[in-house]
Amino acid sequence: MIVIKFGGTSVGDAQRVANAIDIVAERRERDPIVVVSALAGVTNDLVASTEAACAGDMERVNEIVERVRRRHEDVAMRLVQQKFDFFDTFLKNLHRQIEEIHTILHGIALLREITPRAKDKVTAIGEKLSSVLFAYSMMMRALPGEHVDSEEVVVTDAKFGEASPLMDATRAAAARVLRPIVERRHIPVMGGFIGRTKDGATTTLGRGGSDYSAAIVGAAVDAEEIQIWTDVDGMMTCDPRLIPGARIIERISYVEAAELAWFGAKVLHPKTIAPAVERNIQVRVLNTHNVASPGTLVSAEGDHRDAGPRAVAVKRGVSVVHMTSSRMLGATGFLARLFAIFGELQVSVDLITTSEVSVSVTVDDTHNIDELKARLEANGIEVSVRDDQCIIAIVGRNLMMDSMVGARVFEAMRGTPMSMFSLGTSGLNLSIVCDERDADQAVRAIHAALFEAPVGAAS
């Protein structure tokens, strides 16, 4: 069994859905399970509709929902020929789902308030529609696609908007729901991004979470491979939107890929790797627009021949919290008390640097930093916060084995003020924090120094 996941751009319009179906057909012998994202842009539209409802702007809500409806109807019209019963059934399903979001959005508009639970119910519709559409379109092409409601398979906790799977329950559900379909030599098709709590509430796994769904399903059925089909040739030495000359990475280890994803390489959702590691399943990142490209293979071994830097990524929207206290000098237990405050407020920390009397950390700016600052200050800690920062991460195994790597990186940063830097003892990640407005130029300079340097130089 393999899991084949298509991202939003891979199912953006009728032609792309048709190409994606060809990709599935060519892999039929490997017993695929298909996981699809919402059509490109639809989740953004749904999020916008909840915001418009919150603002009481029903005109805008209707406009967005109508656009979503028309978009799916258009794709269906091209793929699922109208003379077939499939088309009517799909339209009925589409209209039922649209009615359901309308009801929820009306409720939100009345209350002028949205709960995370209601938001998940609305944003999940994108994947519900795309997966039904994909399954019907497969049937039109004489492929035995069978739609599976992802809520029947992926069981999660109740952290709406950022849910985590309950793997034992998910494994049992996958055995009950997916296996019999595969044993009939049919192809299950399910939406990514969505799960359901034990008591029946729809959850989502976080933006970009369909990759994570694919890995969860892969781990639940012990797939031999998880394929992530996207719009680039694989994991690359940098985001090709930022550096058009970025190179494909043929093989990479789980730890390197996870680190890159965590520090901003959007090609994989940061949580994707964990379920694959747990069951030792290889992940392949492939390009729907360039099927011949071998893509990137992510596995436990990665590429043994290749120590040193593999890629550079950038995570934006970061704040640096700098904390000073004279009580820290020679004191024991101080850091434990300090981080207990972070723990209580559920603020997660990415990077840390310390000196005798100060600690600096980076946190995502989505956290309530004012509250954090107030709590720290109430405990006698002086706090200063620097917003609009980014983390530039250079990732690779035994990164600093070649001393030229550090020299090249810092040379590339010449003239760009840095607010922190950190090198993990695992030698896997050299991270530099600087102003977000300097990010693009700094990443270009670092990429040029590490990956575009003449042969024989560090790379």
Q: Does 6 bind ligand ASP (CB under 6 A)?
A: no
Within 13 Å, how many C-alpha atoms sit on residue 238's CB side? Answer: 24
Q: What is the token pair recorded at 337?
A: 């008390």
Helices 334-344 + 369-378 axis angle, to 10: 140
Minimum distance from CB of 244 to ligand ASP (Å)?
24
Q: Does 232 bind ligand ADP (CB under 6 A)?
A: yes
Given the rule CB under 6 A, which of 44-52, 132-140, 234-242, 325-333 is the region that contacts ligand ADP? Answer: 234-242
Q: Does 208 bind Mg ion (CB under 5 A)?
A: yes
Q: Which of 126, 165, 188, 208 binds ligand ADP (CB under 6 A)?
A: 208
Q: Which of 38, 52, 125, 433 binds ligand ASP (CB under 6 A)?
A: 38
193 contact, one of Mg ion, ligand ASP, ligand ADP, none, CB 5-8 Å limit per kind? ligand ASP
Q: What Å distances lie between residue 445 and 100, 159, 399, CA to CA?
A: 50, 40, 18
Q: DSSP letters of 180-205?
A: HHHHTT-EEEEESSEEEETTS-EEE-
Site for ligand ASP in 195-254 (CB under 6 A): 207-210
b/e code 233-269 from CB counts within 10 Å (16+ = b) = bbbbbbbbeebeebbbbebbbbbbbbbbbbbbbebbb
Q: Give the amino acid at 153.
A: V
Q: Residue 224 — φ and ψ, nearest 5°?
A: -85, -20
Q: What Å distances lie between residue 202 and 8, 84, 162, 269, CA to CA?
A: 20, 31, 12, 20
Binding flags for Mg ion, 154-193, as an x/- string (CB under 5 A): ----------------------------------------
Q: How many residues lie near ligand ASP (CB under 6 A)?
A: 12
- Which residue's CB is nearer to ligand ASP, number 31 or number 45? 45
Binding flags for ligand ADP, 237-276, as an x/- string (CB under 6 A): -xxxx-----------------------xxx---------
Nearest alpha carbon to residue 13 among 72, 64, 66, 67: 72
Site for ligand ADP in 29-48 (CB under 6 A): 37
43 contact, one of ligand ASP, Mg ion, ligand ADP, none, CB 5-8 Å limit per kind? ligand ASP
Q: What Å distances lie between residue 252 and 12, 300, 395, CA to CA?
A: 28, 8, 11
Given the rule CB under 6 A, which of 35-43, 360-368, 441-449, 450-458 is the region that contacts ligand ASP? Answer: 35-43
Tokens 């060519």 found at: 26
Site for ligand ASP in 178-197 (CB under 6 A): 192-193
Task: Decide: helix, strand or coil at residue 299.
Answer: strand
In the complex, the residues that contact ligand ASP under the rule CB under 6 A are 7-8, 37-38, 43, 126, 192-193, 207-210
Binding stretches for ligand ADP (CB under 6 A): 7-10, 37, 208, 230-232, 235-236, 238-241, 265-267, 311, 313
Residues that bind Mg ion (CB under 5 A): 7, 208
